[in-house]
Structure 1
Amino acid sequence: MKLNTNQLKQYHKDGYVLVRGFCSEAETERMYRVAVQDDAMQKNAMDLNDQSGKKTRLSLWFNPGNDVFGYLTRSEKMVNCVGQLLDSDAPVCHFHSKLMQKEPKVGGAWEWHQDYGYWYKNQFMYPDQLLSVMVALTPANKENGCLQVIKGSHKIGRVNHGFAGEQVGADMVMVDNALKTMDLVYCEIDPGDALFFHPNLLHRSAANLSDAPRWSIISCFNSQSNIAYNETSTAWKKPIEMVPDDAILNWDAAPLSQADFLKKENDPALKQTGWEEDVEVKNKT
């Protein structure tokens, strides 16, 4: 699998591109079953409060292993597509992956932000050599808090970020300006669909007030040529060891307990630097 010319143009123009059916129904079912049943995900999950006090829940790890999610991250189709989009000829590396767990009625919002608003604190030099890929494990729609993006907002460059609850949020003055200038898009996607998006794309998601869960896996990638001067993990500079696409479904998978999960207190993005206090991250409407 590779992205076609129109898909590449859309990513660079809009800051994101959606690939329907990136994973088969059987692949998606296997990943969702592991996500729900493997207790390592729950034991290593971090809760982050949004501005209303609702909790967003995620598990984050660095090195892609021989578990089912490692096979997705390392699959030929994933590495090939990511390599087409990163602004570098250097090998594709994996920064981290995270399982997003937005439970019915209680799953909190993610405030407006750019991924590079977080990763700037890791001191990555080149945002165009980073990107994220979200693969839906359950349906994502307006009712259960699907991803919202501001189309083309990656062209603004990095926006100042401060703290919104326990999360890092973008300066709402610039977010409001972007919403006046560009289109707001609700990314309603089905299980197995993959959304590739630029780290400077402004995005958010509302709380899940529905009766249905919204779970997804997000893998974040980096070019080996893009140095991170404030990152203690080393996955970001290790070329990915690819596996065939059928590994997701057919290979034996290791338990997730072997993954190197991030502890909340060790995340540099959640640490105060001093300048966050000058950034207005609350929506006044």
Structure 2
Amino acid sequence: MTNKPLSAQQLSDYHRDGYLIVKDFCSAAEVEKLYSTALNDDAMRKNALDLNDQSGKKTRLSLWFTPGNDVFGYLTRSQKMITPVNQLLDGDAPVCHFHSKLMQKEPRVGGAWEWHQDYGYWYKNQFMFPDQLMSVMVALTNANKENGCLQVIKGSHKLGRVNHGFAGEQVGADMVMVNNALQTMPLVYCELQPGDALLFHSNLLHRSEANLSDGPRWSVISCYSRQSNIAYNETSTSWKTPVEIVPDEAILEWDAGSLSNNDFLAKENDPALKETGWEK
């Protein structure tokens, strides 16, 4: 894919539905380099977090804040990533990178993600404006119903923030409102091929089933905000640092360092996973 802007129709679809799928967002060569790095860079494995779903199955992710001079940092900072994000986020302040995470659903054992909104987590970071927050998921392997692809409730971002409590070790949305939404709006399975991208609003209700297939489901999700969107309970600084954009060619052509120097999240430091009193 070139870094051409999203069309007027794509912008309209995103704001109506709360999400947008862009096919072939990354080339096969880019996906191969990203996936190979994910598998072979020790920093990803050493800094992986396990979060239990309600059944006790583990969901694994590695999360870091500052995009570096590694292949994932180049993707996060690439022109083709920042161009649509800048079009879709409300406001006109510079685009900042909140965090990225490598989602690792292993065959047969990769757990579910419960129904939630990303802003259900990020509300605890005390970000002020959910319309200035969004995520971009790039599939590194096939994502389908069998291996637990993302499910979304189409248009649910228009509900505003739904109350969230704990579901296992995860933060889950109030199921009364989720069930109301499921009776009102369509449920969509976002099946992706490697290299496809899913762009979605911070208030979109979404979940994924456990991976019961014989193959892995891996993806990278980069989360963005505007510099004008203050996070009053966030100790990292990437959320307020404008992205230093690099050309798309950097992903394949520039020297890529290790992720070992990245500022990975430790589970005990995540405010979204701590009780505040209003979850009950």
Q: TM class by shorter-chain length?
A: over 0.9
Distance 2:121 2:74 in 1: 26
Which residue of structure 1 aligns with residue 266 of structure 2? 263
Partner AA of 1:11 in structure 2? Y
Which residue of structure 1 aligns with residue 64 of structure 2? 61
Describe the SS at the equivalent of 2:242: coil
| Residue from 32, 49, 52 that aligns with 1:49 | 52
- Cα drift, residue 275 of structure 1: 1.6
Distance 1:94 1:261 in 2: 14
Which residue of structure 2 aligns with residue 283 of structure 1? none
Which residue of structure 1 aligns with residue 77 of structure 2? 74
| Residue from 222, 238, 243 that aligns with 2:241 | 238
Partner AA of 1:80 in structure 2? T
Which residue of structure 1 aligns with residue 17 of structure 2? 14
Which residue of structure 1 aligns with residue 118 of structure 2? 115
Which residue of structure 1 aligns with residue 41 of structure 2? 38
Describe the SS at the equivalent of 2:223: strand
> Structure 1, residues 160-196: CA drift from partner, whole Å, max 9, x if none?
0000000000000000000000000000000000100
Which residue of structure 2 aligns with residue 162 of structure 1? 165
RMSD, aligned α-carbons = 0.4
Unpaired runs of at least 5, structure 2: none
Describe the SS at the equivalent of 2:141: coil
Structure 1 residue 144 and structure 2 residue 147: aligned? yes
> Structure 1, residues 66-113: CA drift from partner, whole Å, max 9, x if none?
000000000011111100000011100000000000000000000000
Q: For this pair of structures, how many residues does the alignment match?
A: 277
Partner AA of 1:243 in structure 2? V
Partner AA of 1:9 in structure 2? S
Distance 1:6 1:64 in 2: 30
Q: Give the TM-score, by structure 2 length.
A: 0.98
Describe the SS at the equivalent of 1:179: helix
Distance 1:84 1:72 in 2: 18
- Cα drift, residue 257 of structure 1: 0.4
Which residue of structure 2 aligns with residue 220 of structure 1? 223
Q: Which runs of 4 or more aligned residues in structure 1 lie more than 6 Å from their structure 2 counterparts after TM superposition? A: none
Unpaired runs of at least 5, structure 1: 278-285
- Cα drift, residue 258 of structure 1: 1.1
Partner AA of 1:22 in structure 2? F
Describe the SS at the equivalent of 2:234: coil
> Structure 1, residues 27-48: CA drift from partner, whole Å, max 9, x if none?
0010000000111101000000
> Structure 1, residues 199-220: CA drift from partner, whole Å, max 9, x if none?
0000000000000100000000
Query: Structure 1 vs Structure 2: percent identity of aligned residues?
Result: 78
| Residue from 176, 185, 193 that aligns with 1:173 | 176
- Cα drift, residue 267 of structure 1: 0.2
Partner AA of 1:143 in structure 2? E
Partner AA of 2:242 in structure 1? P
